[in-house]
Amino acid sequence: MQCRSFMAYKTSAEDGCSNVKYIRHLNQNDCPAQSNDERQGLKFLATVLLLVLVVAALAAWEMYVPIGPAAGTSDEAATYVDIAPGTGTRAIATQLEKAGVLRSRYAFDLLRAVKGGKLIAGEYRFNRPAAASEVYARMVRGDVYTIPVPIPEGYNIFEIAQAVETAGLGSREAFLAAERSQTGLIADLSPQATSLEGFLFPDTYRFSRHATPEQMLAAMVKRFRQVVAQFGLTPGGSGNEIARTVILASLVEKEVSQDAERPLVAGVFANRLAQGIPLATDPSVIYATLLEGRYRGAIYASDLQSDSPYNTYRRAGLPPGPISNPGVAALKAVLAPARTDYLYFVADAEGHSRFSATLQEHTQQVQSYRRAVHQATAAQSRPTHSRSRTHSHASAR
């Protein structure tokens, strides 16, 4: 503490007049000297402050300066950290530190103490530098790494298996073997099923790199149950209502691509079934050849003469199981088919369908279609079986 110089005066009143007398002049030399204890205390405080600043700077550096793989690292070279369910915060921090994603596990512990939140288990991918704060935020969000597997409406088990293999989630053969062995997943929906065909709902799924075929199949069946429950299709109904609905919907799904035409096609099938007329659908014949491993990219006369239970040209009624995995529109169409007297339909040149109640009218529609195909082929070659319904409903029955 410094002392300032000042002058002190004393005023007296002798003989009736004011007399100012000089008292003292003080300067810094007159201030009491600072004690050693005070100086030591100031040095200690300064040291503590410096340490606090250093520690704060170090913590900030560990928490907010990115670390990890270089930007643009490929998925194959990225760092993956799989956090098992039930892993504690300290174990997670240690795991991340060992993987080179964190500089120090203590920074992660500090973030946990400050920010709180629940850390989500799963596999995380790191393919660029990231700050500890970002890593922590990702784990709170549950930003786990998954691989998308899009399954369009109408895909059959063979196409789904190929999609899984293309996504790098296992072999086609392993997936097909699993779907044949996991029919217990739908035992209450289709007790006689020998495959999960028809019950793997079309959607875009996201699976971890370590997902097994059984886990993927279970997810697809679960999604199917969620959707059909909205239509009132739940286990415990009369007979094989769900199985029958799915089989019909799988045929409708493969026959037409226009949602507005699906109820009409479902109505045609309902009318033919009621009258005992074979459905005569190409998609079911193609499916039979797929099951037998002899599909050659087109339908041949020998295929139409096959004794397969899926040959709906030779056998009346429904095939023994679904031939594809139908979407919502096809399922709705079967549950509410159009009430008409139509028994036939065939494609037109615009990709729509023409419906007929009589064989004579249908034959005329077929001839119109064939002329359109011939004209189109002259300009650009295309197989007449590109839409599988064409062959079946272009034949007189």
For residue range 189-228, list pLDDT tens digits in order. Answer: 999 999 999 999 999 999 999 999 999 999 999 999 999 9
| Domain co-membership, 249 together with 371 | yes
Instruction: State the pTM of this model.
Output: 0.76
Rounded Cα distance between 325 and 334, Å, is 14
Name the average pLDDT for the chain: 84
Residue 6 lies inside a defined structural domain of this protein: no
Tell me the two tokens of residue 238: 């009369």
pLDDT band at 33 (very low <50, low <70, confident <90, very high): low
- Enclosing domain of residue 115: 79-141
With a CB cutoff of 8 Å and minimum separation 6, the contacts of 298 are 383, 385
Residue 291: both structure tokens together: 């099951």
Q: Tell me how far apart the alpha carbons of residues 134 and 64 are, in angstroms, rounded to a whole number.
A: 8
For 255-323, give the DSSP string.
Answer: H-S-GGGHHHHHHHHHHHHHTT-----HHHHHHHHHHTT---SS--HHHHT---TT-TTTS-S--SS-S
Q: Say which CATH number the domain at 116 has.
A: 3.30.1490.480
For 103-127, what is the mean pLDDT?
Answer: 88
Residue 252 within a domain: yes
Q: 106 and 126 share a domain?
A: yes
Q: Based on the domain organization, do 203 and 98 belong to the same domain?
A: no
- Co-location of 296 and 384 in the same domain: yes
Q: Please say if the pLDDT value at position 353 is more than 70.
A: yes
Beta-carbon contacts of residue 34 (< 8 Å; ≥ 6 apart): 1
Give the integer Cα–Cα distance in Å for 345 and 351.
Answer: 12
- Same-domain pairing of 162 and 303: no
Query: What does the pLDDT look like over 254-281, one tens digit per residue?
Result: 999 899 999 999 999 999 999 999 999 9
**Rounded mean pLDDT, 128-153:** 93
Both 306 and 356 in one domain: the answer is yes
Q: What pLDDT is stored for residue 81 in this prediction?
A: 93
Q: Do residue 379 and residue 266 come from a single domain?
A: yes
C-alpha to C-alpha distance for 206 and 164, rounded to whole angstroms: 11
Say whether both 126 and 157 belong to one domain.
Answer: no
Which pair of tokens denotes residue 218? 């279970």
Query: How confident is the model at residue 64, as a pLDDT?
Result: 58
How many structural domains compose the chain?
Answer: 3
Residue 63 lies in a domain: no
Q: pLDDT (tens digit, 9 = 90+) per residue, 90-102?
A: 999 999 999 998 8
56-60, 151-155, 236-240: segment of lowest average pLDDT: 56-60
Q: pLDDT confidence of 56, banded at 50, 70, 90?
A: low
Same domain, 270 and 377: yes
Q: What's the whole-number mean pLDDT along residues 381-385? A: 49
Q: Which helix (H) or strand (E) holds 353?
A: strand 353-356
Residues 165, 92, single domain; the answer is no
256/356 same-domain check? yes
